[in-house]
Amino acid sequence: MLRAEPMLDGRSNERQQNREGSEEETSTMLIAHLANLMTLKTQMTAAWLFQHAPSRLNLLEMWNHMQWPARAVAIALGVMSAWSVGVMMDRWFAFRAARRQSRQFAPLAAGALREGKLEEAIRVAERNKRSHLAKVVNAGLIEFRIREQSTDVPVDKIEASKRALERAEAIVHAELERGLSGLATIGSTAPFVGLLGTVIGIIDAFRAIQAEGGGHIGAVSGGISEALVTTALGLFVAIPAVMMFNYFTTKIKAFDVEMDNSSSELIDYLLRRSAVVRR
């Protein structure tokens, strides 16, 4: 019995290997068949495109053959593209300046606060006005300086500074998000605007078929060109907009974390400072 079990196990393993081998062979044949089919279709498509390349790659000729509804769609997509590029450049330079000035502000402000120089930390923050950290920390420090000279309870002073930090964070967050809602709108609607041009091109193609009384390629080439151009233009506008929107959103989340940490550290510092003053 002890010898029979290994033999049975060996036979079952051999059968399983045979089945796996046959399945692998079938999968390989299927993949090869699909690859041959795709290659054949690619060759046929490339031959057709090269055959009609002079008339299909001339964008000026396509524009001249477009009707005004299709031209309006193309112009709208061009305006959306220009606006999205402007937002991308504005946010890129704003985030870059915020990052650079924050790197300069953080060690200088930390050193001034470590030495108890509250006014020096405020001056450092005012010199780095484009830094998101400087804007938030400066709001908390100014509020604490105003409350420090009053007769309020220390806890009330800290709470006032905390509220000032929260307000500053909300304002800075809104400033960082400026223009991104429009960028998201362009990224989500540009393909549909291009699809509208596609529909218009197809309608023109059917009208050309009806006018010519036949369905040859010359009768529908103008409408198909309009459809392809507007669809490609819509994707050309939408893809960078969506990519940059996601990139900027990730950056803003990182900035929010940095502002939260800075606010928390500043509150801890103000609590320690108030405790030392009471002593």
pLDDT digits (tens, 9 = 90+) for 98-157: 999 999 999 999 999 888 888 999 999 999 999 999 999 999 999 888 877 766 656 778
- pLDDT per position as a tens digit, 158-216: 888 899 999 999 999 999 999 999 999 999 999 999 988 888 878 877 777 777 665 56
pLDDT tens digits, one per residue of 59-82: 666 666 667 777 888 889 999 999
> Of 2-11, 78-87, 259-268, which gets the smallest average pLDDT?
2-11
CB under 8 Å, gap of 24 or more: what pairs does 86-93 form? 87/179, 87/180, 87/182, 87/183, 88/183, 88/240, 88/244, 90/178, 90/179, 91/178, 91/179, 91/180, 91/244, 91/248
pLDDT at 255 over 90: yes
Could you give the CA distance from residue 186 to residue 241 in angstroms, rounded to a whole number? Answer: 7
Say what the pLDDT of residue 190 is: 93
- Residue 23: is its pLDDT beyond 70? no
Listed by start position, the domains of the chain span 4-53, 63-278
